[in-house]
Amino acid sequence: MRVLLVSSAEGLRDAVGEALAERAGDHRLYWVAQAGLAPVRAGDMLPHVILVDDELGEASPGPLIGQLASKMPSAAILAIVSDDGVGAVRQAVLAGARGFVTKPIQPDDLVSAIRQVLGQRAAASEQAPAPPATGRIVVFCAPKGGTGRTTLAINTAIALGQVTSEPLVLIDADYSAPALDVALNVDASRSIVDLLPKLSRLDAELIEGVLATHASGIRVLLAPPPADLTHPISLPQVQQVLAWLKRVYPWVVVDLGLPMDETAFAFLDGADRIVMTVLPEMVGLRNTRLMLDQLHGRSYPAAKVWLVLNRANLRGGVPVKNIEEQLRVQVKYQIPDDQPLVTHTINRGVPFMVSHRNSALARAVQGLARQLAQELPSPKAVESNGGGRFSWLNRTPRSAEAS
Protein backbone atom coordinates (compact mmCIF):
# COMPACT_ATOMS: atom_id res chain seq x y z
CA MET A 1 0.00 0.00 0.00
CA ARG A 2 1.34 3.42 -0.98
CA VAL A 3 0.75 6.37 1.35
CA LEU A 4 1.61 9.94 0.33
CA LEU A 5 2.08 12.51 3.11
CA VAL A 6 1.93 16.19 2.15
CA SER A 7 3.45 18.22 4.99
CA SER A 8 6.25 20.69 5.54
CA ALA A 9 6.81 19.32 9.07
CA GLU A 10 9.50 16.67 9.31
CA GLY A 11 8.28 15.75 12.78
CA LEU A 12 4.84 14.88 11.38
CA ARG A 13 6.47 12.63 8.81
CA ASP A 14 8.29 10.79 11.58
CA ALA A 15 5.08 10.45 13.62
CA VAL A 16 3.11 9.08 10.68
CA GLY A 17 5.95 6.71 9.77
CA GLU A 18 6.12 5.35 13.31
CA ALA A 19 2.35 4.92 13.51
CA LEU A 20 2.21 2.97 10.26
CA ALA A 21 5.25 0.88 11.17
CA GLU A 22 3.63 -0.13 14.46
CA ARG A 23 0.12 -0.94 13.27
CA ALA A 24 -0.07 -1.23 9.47
CA GLY A 25 1.02 -4.11 7.30
CA ASP A 26 2.98 -3.90 4.05
CA HIS A 27 3.21 -0.26 3.05
CA ARG A 28 5.48 2.42 1.70
CA LEU A 29 5.33 6.01 2.97
CA TYR A 30 6.27 8.84 0.62
CA TRP A 31 6.73 12.41 1.81
CA VAL A 32 6.32 15.68 -0.10
CA ALA A 33 7.34 18.81 1.78
CA GLN A 34 6.28 21.30 -0.90
CA ALA A 35 2.55 21.41 -1.55
CA GLY A 36 3.03 22.50 -5.15
CA LEU A 37 4.84 19.24 -5.94
CA ALA A 38 2.14 16.99 -4.45
CA PRO A 39 -0.07 16.60 -7.59
CA VAL A 40 2.92 15.61 -9.74
CA ARG A 41 4.23 13.19 -7.10
CA ALA A 42 0.77 11.67 -6.73
CA GLY A 43 0.61 11.13 -10.48
CA ASP A 44 3.96 9.33 -10.39
CA MET A 45 3.29 6.99 -7.45
CA LEU A 46 -0.53 6.50 -7.67
CA PRO A 47 -1.07 6.42 -3.88
CA HIS A 48 -3.86 4.48 -2.22
CA VAL A 49 -4.00 7.04 0.62
CA ILE A 50 -3.07 10.74 0.67
CA LEU A 51 -2.55 12.50 4.02
CA VAL A 52 -2.66 16.31 3.82
CA ASP A 53 -1.42 18.46 6.71
CA ASP A 54 -3.54 21.57 7.44
CA GLU A 55 -0.36 23.59 7.99
CA LEU A 56 1.38 23.96 4.64
CA GLY A 57 3.08 27.31 5.03
CA GLU A 58 1.75 29.74 2.45
CA ALA A 59 -0.28 27.05 0.66
CA SER A 60 -3.92 26.43 1.56
CA PRO A 61 -4.90 22.79 2.17
CA GLY A 62 -8.45 23.17 0.79
CA PRO A 63 -7.53 23.93 -2.85
CA LEU A 64 -4.76 21.34 -2.74
CA ILE A 65 -7.15 18.64 -1.53
CA GLY A 66 -9.58 19.62 -4.28
CA GLN A 67 -6.84 19.35 -6.88
CA LEU A 68 -5.68 15.98 -5.56
CA ALA A 69 -9.25 14.64 -5.40
CA SER A 70 -9.78 15.64 -9.03
CA LYS A 71 -6.44 14.23 -10.24
CA MET A 72 -6.55 11.03 -8.16
CA PRO A 73 -10.23 10.04 -7.74
CA SER A 74 -9.27 6.51 -6.71
CA ALA A 75 -7.12 7.70 -3.78
CA ALA A 76 -8.54 8.07 -0.26
CA ILE A 77 -7.68 11.51 1.13
CA LEU A 78 -7.42 12.27 4.84
CA ALA A 79 -6.76 15.68 6.38
CA ILE A 80 -4.44 15.99 9.38
CA VAL A 81 -5.63 18.93 11.46
CA SER A 82 -4.93 20.64 14.76
CA ASP A 83 -7.07 19.73 17.76
CA ASP A 84 -9.03 22.96 17.46
CA GLY A 85 -9.13 23.04 13.66
CA VAL A 86 -12.88 22.69 13.12
CA GLY A 87 -12.80 25.16 10.25
CA ALA A 88 -9.95 23.29 8.58
CA VAL A 89 -11.90 20.03 8.87
CA ARG A 90 -14.96 21.55 7.22
CA GLN A 91 -12.87 23.04 4.42
CA ALA A 92 -11.03 19.76 3.83
CA VAL A 93 -14.21 17.67 3.64
CA LEU A 94 -15.86 20.13 1.27
CA ALA A 95 -12.76 19.99 -0.94
CA GLY A 96 -12.88 16.20 -1.19
CA ALA A 97 -11.27 14.69 1.90
CA ARG A 98 -12.92 11.49 3.16
CA GLY A 99 -12.09 12.10 6.80
CA PHE A 100 -9.58 13.58 9.19
CA VAL A 101 -7.25 12.83 12.11
CA THR A 102 -6.02 15.28 14.70
CA LYS A 103 -2.53 16.23 15.81
CA PRO A 104 -0.55 15.03 17.64
CA ILE A 105 -0.85 11.77 15.72
CA GLN A 106 -2.23 8.84 17.68
CA PRO A 107 -1.29 5.57 15.91
CA ASP A 108 -4.62 3.85 16.61
CA ASP A 109 -6.60 6.84 15.35
CA LEU A 110 -4.54 7.15 12.17
CA VAL A 111 -4.73 3.47 11.22
CA SER A 112 -8.45 3.31 12.09
CA ALA A 113 -9.13 6.32 9.86
CA ILE A 114 -7.17 4.77 6.99
CA ARG A 115 -9.03 1.49 7.39
CA GLN A 116 -12.35 3.30 7.31
CA VAL A 117 -11.67 5.26 4.11
CA LEU A 118 -10.12 2.28 2.35
CA GLY A 119 -13.12 0.19 3.36
CA GLN A 120 -15.37 2.79 1.74
CA ARG A 121 -13.28 2.67 -1.41
CA ALA A 122 -13.35 -1.13 -1.49
CA ALA A 123 -17.14 -1.18 -1.07
CA ALA A 124 -17.54 1.31 -3.91
CA SER A 125 -15.28 -0.70 -6.22
CA GLU A 126 -17.26 -3.88 -5.51
CA GLN A 127 -20.38 -2.21 -6.87
CA ALA A 128 -18.71 -1.72 -10.26
CA PRO A 129 -15.78 -4.17 -10.36
CA ALA A 130 -13.19 -3.91 -13.11
CA PRO A 131 -12.87 -6.93 -15.41
CA PRO A 132 -10.36 -9.52 -14.19
CA ALA A 133 -6.78 -9.16 -15.42
CA THR A 134 -6.38 -12.55 -17.15
CA GLY A 135 -3.99 -11.67 -19.99
CA ARG A 136 -0.51 -13.17 -20.22
CA ILE A 137 2.59 -10.98 -20.34
CA VAL A 138 5.66 -11.98 -22.34
CA VAL A 139 8.69 -9.69 -21.99
CA PHE A 140 11.53 -9.77 -24.50
CA CYS A 141 14.84 -8.52 -23.11
CA ALA A 142 18.54 -8.76 -23.90
CA PRO A 143 21.83 -8.15 -22.08
CA LYS A 144 23.09 -5.82 -24.82
CA GLY A 145 22.01 -4.18 -28.04
CA GLY A 146 22.21 -5.92 -31.39
CA THR A 147 20.82 -9.32 -30.36
CA GLY A 148 17.69 -9.02 -32.52
CA ARG A 149 15.43 -8.52 -29.50
CA THR A 150 13.07 -6.03 -31.14
CA THR A 151 12.78 -8.00 -34.39
CA LEU A 152 12.03 -11.18 -32.46
CA ALA A 153 9.49 -9.43 -30.20
CA ILE A 154 7.64 -7.95 -33.18
CA ASN A 155 7.46 -11.14 -35.21
CA THR A 156 6.65 -13.36 -32.22
CA ALA A 157 3.78 -11.01 -31.34
CA ILE A 158 2.39 -11.29 -34.87
CA ALA A 159 2.88 -15.06 -34.81
CA LEU A 160 1.07 -15.34 -31.46
CA GLY A 161 -1.87 -13.49 -32.94
CA GLN A 162 -1.89 -15.88 -35.90
CA VAL A 163 -1.49 -19.02 -33.79
CA THR A 164 -4.04 -18.17 -31.09
CA SER A 165 -6.46 -15.90 -33.00
CA GLU A 166 -6.58 -13.80 -29.84
CA PRO A 167 -6.19 -9.99 -29.58
CA LEU A 168 -2.70 -8.85 -28.67
CA VAL A 169 -0.94 -5.62 -27.72
CA LEU A 170 2.77 -4.99 -28.25
CA ILE A 171 4.50 -2.46 -25.95
CA ASP A 172 7.61 -0.51 -26.87
CA ALA A 173 9.38 -0.28 -23.50
CA ASP A 174 12.74 0.79 -24.89
CA TYR A 175 12.51 4.37 -23.66
CA SER A 176 16.10 5.29 -24.54
CA ALA A 177 15.94 4.03 -28.15
CA PRO A 178 12.33 3.33 -29.25
CA ALA A 179 11.99 1.55 -32.59
CA LEU A 180 8.58 -0.06 -33.02
CA ASP A 181 7.04 2.88 -34.88
CA VAL A 182 9.72 2.64 -37.60
CA ALA A 183 9.94 -1.17 -37.67
CA LEU A 184 6.15 -1.45 -38.02
CA ASN A 185 5.56 1.73 -40.02
CA VAL A 186 2.69 2.87 -37.75
CA ASP A 187 1.38 6.27 -36.70
CA ALA A 188 3.62 7.62 -33.94
CA SER A 189 1.46 10.56 -32.87
CA ARG A 190 0.37 8.86 -29.62
CA SER A 191 2.38 7.01 -26.98
CA ILE A 192 2.32 5.86 -23.38
CA VAL A 193 2.82 9.45 -22.18
CA ASP A 194 -0.77 10.15 -23.32
CA LEU A 195 -1.96 7.60 -20.73
CA LEU A 196 0.10 8.76 -17.75
CA PRO A 197 -2.06 11.78 -16.77
CA LYS A 198 -5.15 9.54 -16.90
CA LEU A 199 -3.92 6.51 -14.95
CA SER A 200 -6.30 7.07 -12.04
CA ARG A 201 -9.30 6.81 -14.37
CA LEU A 202 -8.14 4.34 -16.99
CA ASP A 203 -10.66 2.29 -18.90
CA ALA A 204 -10.72 0.27 -22.11
CA GLU A 205 -11.88 3.23 -24.20
CA LEU A 206 -9.01 5.47 -23.06
CA ILE A 207 -6.48 2.73 -23.78
CA GLU A 208 -7.88 2.01 -27.24
CA GLY A 209 -7.62 5.69 -28.11
CA VAL A 210 -3.85 5.67 -27.52
CA LEU A 211 -2.90 2.41 -29.25
CA ALA A 212 -1.68 2.29 -32.84
CA THR A 213 -2.96 -0.43 -35.18
CA HIS A 214 -0.67 -2.52 -37.37
CA ALA A 215 -1.74 -4.11 -40.65
CA SER A 216 -1.29 -7.58 -39.08
CA GLY A 217 -4.06 -6.79 -36.59
CA ILE A 218 -1.93 -6.36 -33.47
CA ARG A 219 -2.23 -3.18 -31.42
CA VAL A 220 0.85 -1.22 -30.39
CA LEU A 221 1.57 1.00 -27.37
CA LEU A 222 4.49 3.14 -28.50
CA ALA A 223 7.25 4.79 -26.50
CA PRO A 224 7.72 8.54 -26.86
CA PRO A 225 10.84 10.14 -28.30
CA PRO A 226 13.39 10.22 -25.45
CA ALA A 227 13.26 14.02 -25.33
CA ASP A 228 9.51 13.90 -24.60
CA LEU A 229 9.96 11.71 -21.52
CA THR A 230 10.95 14.32 -18.95
CA HIS A 231 11.40 11.77 -16.14
CA PRO A 232 11.35 7.95 -15.97
CA ILE A 233 8.03 6.15 -15.85
CA SER A 234 7.57 4.96 -12.28
CA LEU A 235 6.99 1.42 -11.06
CA PRO A 236 3.37 2.12 -9.96
CA GLN A 237 2.64 3.65 -13.38
CA VAL A 238 3.96 0.55 -15.16
CA GLN A 239 1.92 -1.69 -12.85
CA GLN A 240 -1.24 0.30 -13.55
CA VAL A 241 -0.78 0.21 -17.33
CA LEU A 242 0.00 -3.52 -17.36
CA ALA A 243 -2.97 -4.33 -15.12
CA TRP A 244 -5.37 -2.60 -17.50
CA LEU A 245 -3.81 -4.06 -20.65
CA LYS A 246 -4.15 -7.53 -19.11
CA ARG A 247 -7.84 -6.82 -18.60
CA VAL A 248 -8.35 -5.80 -22.22
CA TYR A 249 -5.97 -8.13 -24.10
CA PRO A 250 -5.32 -11.88 -23.74
CA TRP A 251 -1.69 -11.28 -24.74
CA VAL A 252 0.69 -8.45 -23.80
CA VAL A 253 4.11 -8.60 -25.45
CA VAL A 254 6.81 -6.18 -24.27
CA ASP A 255 9.97 -5.11 -26.10
CA LEU A 256 12.09 -4.11 -23.10
CA GLY A 257 15.19 -1.97 -23.56
CA LEU A 258 18.12 -1.11 -21.35
CA PRO A 259 19.10 -0.06 -18.71
CA MET A 260 17.83 -2.54 -16.13
CA ASP A 261 16.38 0.10 -13.83
CA GLU A 262 13.27 0.22 -11.62
CA THR A 263 11.02 0.74 -14.65
CA ALA A 264 12.51 -2.28 -16.43
CA PHE A 265 12.05 -4.51 -13.40
CA ALA A 266 8.44 -3.36 -13.10
CA PHE A 267 7.83 -5.01 -16.50
CA LEU A 268 9.88 -8.08 -15.59
CA ASP A 269 8.13 -8.52 -12.23
CA GLY A 270 4.77 -8.63 -14.01
CA ALA A 271 5.88 -11.06 -16.73
CA ASP A 272 4.57 -14.60 -17.10
CA ARG A 273 7.55 -15.37 -19.34
CA ILE A 274 10.83 -13.52 -19.87
CA VAL A 275 12.37 -14.25 -23.26
CA MET A 276 16.06 -13.32 -23.19
CA THR A 277 17.69 -13.15 -26.63
CA VAL A 278 21.39 -13.93 -26.98
CA LEU A 279 23.79 -14.30 -29.88
CA PRO A 280 26.41 -17.09 -30.14
CA GLU A 281 29.34 -14.78 -29.38
CA MET A 282 31.49 -14.45 -26.27
CA VAL A 283 30.88 -10.81 -25.26
CA GLY A 284 27.15 -11.33 -25.34
CA LEU A 285 27.44 -14.51 -23.28
CA ARG A 286 29.36 -12.69 -20.55
CA ASN A 287 26.65 -10.01 -20.40
CA THR A 288 23.95 -12.68 -20.47
CA ARG A 289 25.48 -14.34 -17.41
CA LEU A 290 25.40 -11.01 -15.56
CA MET A 291 21.73 -10.45 -16.45
CA LEU A 292 20.79 -13.97 -15.43
CA ASP A 293 22.48 -13.33 -12.08
CA GLN A 294 20.36 -10.19 -11.67
CA LEU A 295 17.16 -12.11 -12.32
CA HIS A 296 18.25 -14.90 -9.99
CA GLY A 297 18.96 -12.28 -7.32
CA ARG A 298 15.34 -11.16 -7.58
CA SER A 299 14.20 -14.76 -7.04
CA TYR A 300 12.63 -15.23 -10.47
CA PRO A 301 11.75 -18.91 -11.00
CA ALA A 302 13.98 -20.64 -13.54
CA ALA A 303 10.93 -21.64 -15.59
CA LYS A 304 9.97 -17.99 -16.00
CA VAL A 305 13.14 -17.12 -17.97
CA TRP A 306 13.53 -18.53 -21.47
CA LEU A 307 16.94 -18.26 -23.13
CA VAL A 308 16.47 -17.96 -26.90
CA LEU A 309 19.54 -18.25 -29.11
CA ASN A 310 19.16 -15.92 -32.09
CA ARG A 311 21.15 -16.47 -35.31
CA ALA A 312 21.90 -19.92 -33.88
CA ASN A 313 23.68 -21.22 -37.00
CA LEU A 314 25.86 -18.13 -37.39
CA ARG A 315 29.12 -19.10 -39.06
CA GLY A 316 31.90 -19.17 -36.48
CA GLY A 317 29.43 -18.83 -33.60
CA VAL A 318 29.80 -20.52 -30.22
CA PRO A 319 28.18 -24.00 -30.25
CA VAL A 320 24.95 -24.42 -28.28
CA LYS A 321 26.52 -27.02 -25.98
CA ASN A 322 29.28 -24.59 -24.99
CA ILE A 323 26.76 -21.81 -24.42
CA GLU A 324 24.71 -23.96 -22.06
CA GLU A 325 27.83 -25.06 -20.18
CA GLN A 326 29.06 -21.50 -19.75
CA LEU A 327 25.71 -20.04 -18.72
CA ARG A 328 24.55 -23.10 -16.77
CA VAL A 329 21.14 -22.60 -18.38
CA GLN A 330 19.43 -24.64 -21.06
CA VAL A 331 18.71 -22.89 -24.36
CA LYS A 332 14.93 -23.01 -24.65
CA TYR A 333 14.66 -22.24 -28.35
CA GLN A 334 16.85 -21.49 -31.38
CA ILE A 335 16.21 -19.04 -34.22
CA PRO A 336 18.21 -19.53 -37.45
CA ASP A 337 20.38 -16.87 -39.04
CA ASP A 338 18.98 -14.93 -41.99
CA GLN A 339 20.34 -11.43 -41.53
CA PRO A 340 19.70 -10.30 -45.14
CA LEU A 341 15.99 -11.07 -44.77
CA VAL A 342 15.83 -9.34 -41.37
CA THR A 343 17.54 -6.21 -42.69
CA HIS A 344 15.29 -6.17 -45.75
CA THR A 345 12.07 -6.39 -43.76
CA ILE A 346 13.15 -3.81 -41.17
CA ASN A 347 14.04 -1.31 -43.88
CA ARG A 348 10.64 -1.84 -45.52
CA GLY A 349 8.77 -1.61 -42.23
CA VAL A 350 7.08 -4.95 -42.98
CA PRO A 351 7.84 -7.82 -40.52
CA PHE A 352 8.87 -11.12 -42.09
CA MET A 353 5.89 -12.84 -40.41
CA VAL A 354 3.78 -10.80 -42.83
CA SER A 355 5.96 -10.66 -45.96
CA HIS A 356 7.84 -14.00 -45.78
CA ARG A 357 5.62 -16.37 -43.78
CA ASN A 358 7.08 -19.46 -45.47
CA SER A 359 10.73 -18.62 -44.76
CA ALA A 360 12.76 -20.75 -42.36
CA LEU A 361 13.01 -17.72 -40.07
CA ALA A 362 9.24 -17.23 -39.95
CA ARG A 363 8.61 -20.93 -39.35
CA ALA A 364 11.03 -20.89 -36.41
CA VAL A 365 9.34 -17.85 -34.86
CA GLN A 366 5.95 -19.46 -35.37
CA GLY A 367 7.26 -22.47 -33.45
CA LEU A 368 8.32 -20.19 -30.58
CA ALA A 369 4.86 -18.63 -30.58
CA ARG A 370 3.22 -22.07 -30.44
CA GLN A 371 5.41 -23.04 -27.50
CA LEU A 372 4.44 -19.86 -25.64
CA ALA A 373 0.76 -20.47 -26.35
CA GLN A 374 1.07 -24.07 -25.17
CA GLU A 375 2.81 -23.24 -21.91
CA LEU A 376 0.65 -20.17 -21.20
CA PRO A 377 -2.87 -21.38 -22.00
CA SER A 378 -5.79 -19.00 -21.86
CA PRO A 379 -6.74 -18.73 -18.17
CA LYS A 380 -10.31 -18.86 -16.97
CA ALA A 381 -11.69 -15.63 -15.58
CA VAL A 382 -11.25 -15.66 -11.82
CA GLU A 383 -13.48 -14.06 -9.28
CA SER A 384 -11.97 -10.87 -7.95
CA ASN A 385 -10.71 -11.11 -4.39
CA GLY A 386 -12.92 -8.81 -2.40
CA GLY A 387 -10.76 -6.03 -1.02
CA GLY A 388 -7.65 -7.84 -2.25
CA ARG A 389 -5.61 -4.71 -2.82
CA PHE A 390 -6.24 -3.75 0.81
CA SER A 391 -5.57 -7.19 2.27
CA TRP A 392 -3.05 -5.68 4.68
CA LEU A 393 -5.99 -4.37 6.70
CA ASN A 394 -6.84 -7.88 7.87
CA ARG A 395 -3.38 -9.32 8.42
CA THR A 396 -1.00 -9.14 11.32
CA PRO A 397 0.81 -5.79 11.09
CA ARG A 398 4.38 -5.83 9.83
CA SER A 399 6.59 -2.81 9.67
CA ALA A 400 7.74 -1.38 6.33
CA GLU A 401 10.46 1.17 5.88
CA ALA A 402 9.22 4.69 5.21
CA SER A 403 10.91 6.52 2.41
**pLDDT over 80 (residue 291):** yes
**pLDDT over 70 (residue 74):** yes
Give the per-residue pLDDT at 393: 39
CB atoms within 10 A of CB 271: 21
Least Cα distance to 234 among 41, 37, 36, 17 occurs for 41
C-alpha of 105 from chain center? 34
Give the per-residue pLDDT at 191: 92
Q: What percent of the chain has pLDDT over 90?
A: 48
CA dihedral 267, 270, 271, 272 (to 10 degrees): 180
Give the per-residue pLDDT at 129: 54
Handedness of CA 295, 300, 302, 303 (dihedral sign): negative
Give the per-residue pLDDT at 67: 84
Mean pLDDT of 91-98: 74
The pLDDT-based confidence of 401 (bands split at 50, 70, 90) is: very low
Residue-wise pLDDT tens digits, 7-52: 988 888 898 888 888 887 788 898 988 888 888 888 877 788 999 9
Mean pLDDT of 95-111: 82
Q: Which residues contact 82 (CB under 8 A, 6 or more apart)?
A: 54, 55, 88, 102, 103
Quote the CA–CA distance of 236 and 256 in Å, as a whole number. Answer: 17
Greatest mean pLDDT among 46-55, 267-276, 371-380, 392-401 = 267-276
**381 vs 346 pLDDT, higher one:** 346
Give the per-residue pLDDT at 210: 92
Q: What is the DSSP letter of 67?
A: H
Give the per-residue pLDDT at 85: 67
The pLDDT-based confidence of 56 (bands split at 50, 70, 90) is: confident
The 3-state secondary structure of 176-241 reads CCCCHHHHHCCCCCCCHHHCHHHHHHCCHHHHHHHCEECCCCCEEECCCCHHHCCCCCCHHHHHHH
Quote the CA–CA distance of 59 and 382 in Å, as a whole number. Answer: 46
The 3-state secondary structure of 317-341 reads CCCHHHHHHHHCCCEEEECCCCHHH
Quote the CA–CA distance of 238 and 240 in Å, as a whole number. Answer: 5
- The values of phi and psi at residue 100, to 5°, are -155, 160
Give the per-residue pLDDT at 153: 98
Amino acid at 106: Q
Tell me the domains of the chain and their CATH numbers: 2-129 (3.40.50.2300), 136-375 (3.40.50.300)
CA dihedral 337, 339, 341, 344 (to 10 degrees): 160
Residue-wise pLDDT tens digits, 329-339: 999 999 999 99
Residue-wise pLDDT tens digits, 227-268: 888 777 888 888 889 988 998 999 999 999 998 988 899 999
What value, to the nearest 5°, has the Cα angle with vertex 170 and ends 168 and 174? 165
